[in-house]
Amino acid sequence: MKKIIKKISVVLISILTIFVIAGFVIASLFSEKIEQAVIESIRSQINSNIEIGNVTFKIFDDFPYSAVQISNLYIQEVNTFGGDTLIYTKLAYIQFSPFKILSEKFEINNITLYGSKISIKYDLNENANYTVFDKKGDGGIGLENIKLIDSQIKYSALQSKSKIFLECEDVEINISKSINTNIKVNGEALSHELIIYDKNYISNKKLRFNLKIKNKKDRISLSKSLLQINDLKFVLSGSLDRKNYLDLVLDGENQNIHSLIKDTPKHLKHIYSSFLADGIIDYKGSIKGIINKDQSPHLDINYSIKNGIFDIKKYPFYLSEISCSGKISNGLENNFKTSKISLENFYAKTKKGNISGAFIINNLNNYFLDANFKSSWDMQEANYYFLESPFYECNGIINANTIYKGNISFDNKFNKQFIDAEHYSLVNLSNIEFLYKNYPLKIKIENANCKIKNNKIQVESSSVNIKDSDLSFNGEITNLFNYIFLDDNVRFDIEGDLKSKIMNLKNLTEIQDKDQANNEGNKLPNYFTLKLNTEIQSLSFNNIYPNNISGGLNYRNKALTATNVNLNIFNGKMIVNGKFYETGTKEFKLTSTIKLEKVNIKKVFSSFNNFGQDFIQAKHLKGVCSSNIICNSFWDSNLNFNKKKLDISSKLSVKQGELINFKPLESLSNFVKIKDLSHIKFSKLENEIKIKEEVISIPNMEIKSNAVSLLISGEHKFNQEYNYKISLLLSELLAKRFRSKSTNFNTSDTLSPVKTNLQLKMTGNKDDMNISFEKTKIKENIKNEIRKEVINIKKIISEEMQNKDIVEETDDIEIEWDDNL
């Protein structure tokens, strides 16, 4: 075995030695002849000015090939193009086999250019500047292999307004000729520009390529080839014919979307200007059609995405874990306007939710979205997507099934486009919490089911809690999106049924900053209208607790109207019709009609804190009251009640009434000594009472009581000054003792208007009371009525005389008379 290896080694060394010796022989005998032959071959093939620097024969530089090195080679283009540089190279190596030298045939097949500059041009008639190579001479330049190292290539074609500027780091071009010319281009280059019809498609990008080109008579074909632009890798195949019809297939796998966007031509970057995206994309598609200044080819691409992200630049809208598949097409007119992108089997996560469904985006000049999707959102996240939203401190979940057809963008146009779009959603809200504008209370929506169609929200059911009030609403809300997203001067409308088990009206009507309200004044809002049918089981406002409330509430043009509002209150019933509105003088006015049926008068006074006075209080009263009231009341802009403008007319009826320890009536005992004036019971009291200009006016009012029957009239001012006239029947006073002893007293009897009476005057205030007889009127009354009363008085006196002992024993009645009064 060792002998065999030894023999092989000897043979190889011998062959190598022969080659070396032959090389030296050839170099010494033929170098000058070879150099001259190469120069003559180049000149014979080029019909233009040519300059050649030093020519040196290198026998072993590219072993086993020999080479001729040419420095500073310059070839000028034809004069019709201006006679500029066609090719300039610092160094050119022309390779050939040493055995070609012996046959004295010096065809230039392989050439390597270092630091070269190549300029290729086509004019409007598609004439080329490299026709200098058309000259036929001896030998030939039949290039089969070209290498460009650290060289520049510039290409321009006036007809297609195309320019290419490549800086070749290491590019090899292999040319084989048979029936067709087959060209292989392999290497790396930097593309400074690749312009077609004035649009730069590849600018300052690193290129790697392995292209397989067939140059046929009527077309150029591209077999399955590889092209890499920066980090993007494509597999390309197709053809371009002489009529500029392109038929290209492209295929990409595991491409980075961020790189795809980053390397998108500048004139197309506006597509992505408002958002960021990334992920992995696979795609396969075709580009077919005429390429010229007026036409673009048709594009069809099928793609799939995984692990994608989508982030809007101006809004905190973020999607992650995106997966979908779909198609991209530039449509019937092969432009952005007719372009379409479909996203099928779409799924993505929001920061706290998810979206799934199908989307179609039309018109890349003005995105039009056709979508059918399901989504789950955290309200805090969803609220951020809308500019200047009035909601804040939001929590809770929004689930929706949505159909959307309309324009969409990812900038400040979105709100308007959302309003103008056609959209339909089934929405469920759960555990929603938020604050709204300056309203101080957090609004909680435990659950709500809605249908949204364009600008109308149909609330099918809802359960809302505000502090200690629960609300349930079903009905329609119209124009709310316009108000929220476009203009807070726009008015939205609410119509439906409002129900509540417990409603605390005082808490619901709180204002956030009372000091600010006092400075600026309150105003009724004009941004919504309200039309509600209400059912409230229990309501509280201060010390008032009505229940079983039903009726209509309307709000429009800064006016709240109540229509046939029925409620149980103070152990009775109330029916209210009224209107609360803002006047032109920066005041609030309430005009209302109120009907009270059998309410507990003691509870009325207690609930309203005795109406701000202590002359007559809840502790003094018992009875059942019915009344018809017409009321006009006013408040200033800070909701301070204006007592001066209060205007009330009422028809009052009190049954089963009692006055308990009422000081003014007790004070009558100084004139009429009746022991039970401290607790008066009366069967019925009726009157028409008016309040105006801080004065309560009481016309003649008859009180038929267990103690005494009397007529009262007068005025009572809000400052607690009063002036009452009290009439007591003389005959009744004389007969009082008998009524007090009788068990057959009928309190339903009424006073006869034609009886002699004693008239008292009660004046003063709560701290200083003055009671006196109106002597003149008493005398006048006696004069007019005594004849009519004489019979009754005699009868009474007669009965008194018969029961003298009894009278002496009882001292129920004593009339004190002082002529000096």
The answer to whether residue 808 sits within a structural domain is yes
What is the share, in percent, of the chain residues with pLDDT greater than 70? 73
pLDDT reading at 12 higher than 90: no
What integer is the mean pLDDT of 776-803?
Answer: 54
Q: Among residues 198, 339, 366, 345, which one has the least CA distance to residue 274?
A: 366
Q: Which residues contact 240 (CB under 8 A, 6 or more apart)?
A: 219, 220, 246, 247, 248, 291
| Predicted local confidence at residue 668, as pLDDT | 65
Residue ranges with strand state E in 291-339? 298-312, 318-329
Q: Which residues contact 394 (CB under 8 A, 6 or more apart)?
A: 379, 380, 382, 383, 432, 433, 434
If you search the block for the tokens 């992995």, which residue do you land on? 280
Is residue 279 domain-shared with residue 422, that is, in the same domain?
A: no
pLDDT reading at 143 higher than 60: yes
Is residue 794 domain-shared with residue 703, that is, in the same domain?
A: yes
Is residue 703 domain-shared with residue 806, that is, in the same domain?
A: yes
Q: What angle do CA 132, 135, 137 make, to 5 degrees?
A: 140
The answer to whether residue 102 sits within a structural domain is no
The answer to whether residue 577 sits within a structural domain is no
The answer to whether residue 211 sits within a structural domain is no
607 or 212, which is more confident? 212
Global confidence as pTM: 0.69
Is residue 677 domain-shared with residue 760, that is, in the same domain?
A: yes
Is residue 415 domain-shared with residue 470, that is, in the same domain?
A: yes
Q: What share of the chain is helix, strand, coil (3-state, %, to 5)?
A: 20, 55, 25
Final residue in a domain of this structure, among 490, 506, 531? 490
Mean residue pLDDT of the chain comes to: 78
| Predicted local confidence at residue 2, as pLDDT | 57
How confident is residue 219, by pLDDT bands cut at 50, 70 and 90? confident
**Model confidence over 42-56: pLDDT tens digits?**
666 666 788 888 877
What integer is the mean pLDDT of 115-122?
Answer: 87
Do 685 and 712 contact (CB within 8 A), yes or no?
no
What integer is the mean pLDDT of 776-785?
Answer: 53
Please list the residues that pair with 66 across neighbouring strands: 96
What is the extent of the structural domain holding 339?
Answer: 243-364
The answer to whether residue 676 sits within a structural domain is yes
71 or 5, which is more confident? 71
The answer to whether residue 781 sits within a structural domain is yes
Do 736 and 813 contact (CB within 8 A), yes or no?
yes
| Predicted local confidence at residue 406, as pLDDT | 95
Domain count, the chain: 3
Give the tokens for residue 351.
């920061």
The answer to whether residue 291 sits within a structural domain is yes
What integer is the mean pLDDT of 93-119?
Answer: 71
Is residue 301 domain-shared with residue 357, that is, in the same domain?
A: yes
695 or 401, which is more confident? 401
Q: Which residues contact 519 (CB under 8 A, 6 or more apart)?
A: none
Final residue in a domain of this structure, among 434, 467, 490? 490
Is residue 385 domain-shared with residue 478, that is, in the same domain?
A: yes
Give the tokens for residue 618.
């809840």
What does the chain come to in residues?
821
Do 260 and 281 contact (CB within 8 A), yes or no?
yes
Q: Among residues 345, 354, 347, 269, which one has the least CA distance to residue 308?
A: 347
Range with the largest mean pLDDT of 155-164, 287-296, 545-554, 775-784 = 545-554
Radius of gyration of the chain from Cα atoms? 54
Amino acid at residue number 67: A
How confident is residue 327, by pLDDT bands cut at 50, 70 and 90? very high
Is residue 412 domain-shared with residue 333, that is, in the same domain?
A: no
| Predicted local confidence at residue 808, as pLDDT | 43
Is residue 712 domain-shared with residue 800, that is, in the same domain?
A: yes
If you search the block for the tokens 């070396």, which residue do you land on? 20
Taking the CB of residue 820, how many other CB atoms lie within 10 A of it? 4
**Model confidence over 367-386: pLDDT tens digits?**
999 999 999 988 887 777 66
Q: How many CA atoms lie within 13 A of 760 on its CB side?
A: 26
How confident is residue 487, by pLDDT bands cut at 50, 70 and 90? confident
Rounded to whole angstroms, the Cα distance separating 783 from 786 reads 6
The dihedrals phi and psi of 240, each to the nearest 5 degrees, come to -135, 120
| Predicted local confidence at residue 777, as pLDDT | 53
| Predicted local confidence at residue 605, as pLDDT | 75
| Predicted local confidence at residue 498, as pLDDT | 92
**Model confidence over 154-172: pLDDT tens digits?**
888 887 778 889 999 999 9
**Model confidence over 423-433: pLDDT tens digits?**
999 999 999 99
Q: Among residues 30, 86, 91, 22, which one has the least CA distance to residue 60?
A: 22
Lowest mean pLDDT among 89-98, 325-334, 754-763, 765-774: 754-763
Lowest mean pLDDT among 6-20, 26-40, 464-478, 570-584: 6-20
Is residue 697 domain-shared with residue 817, that is, in the same domain?
A: yes
Final residue in a domain of this structure, among 364, 386, 419? 364
Q: Is the dihedral of CA 331, 337, 339, 345 positive or negative?
A: negative
Q: What is the dihedral of CA 501, 506, 508, 511, to 10 degrees?
A: 180
The answer to whether residue 392 sits within a structural domain is yes
How confident is residue 612, by pLDDT bands cut at 50, 70 and 90? low
Is residue 389 domain-shared with residue 469, that is, in the same domain?
A: yes
| Predicted local confidence at residue 785, as pLDDT | 54
Is residue 388 domain-shared with residue 347, that is, in the same domain?
A: no
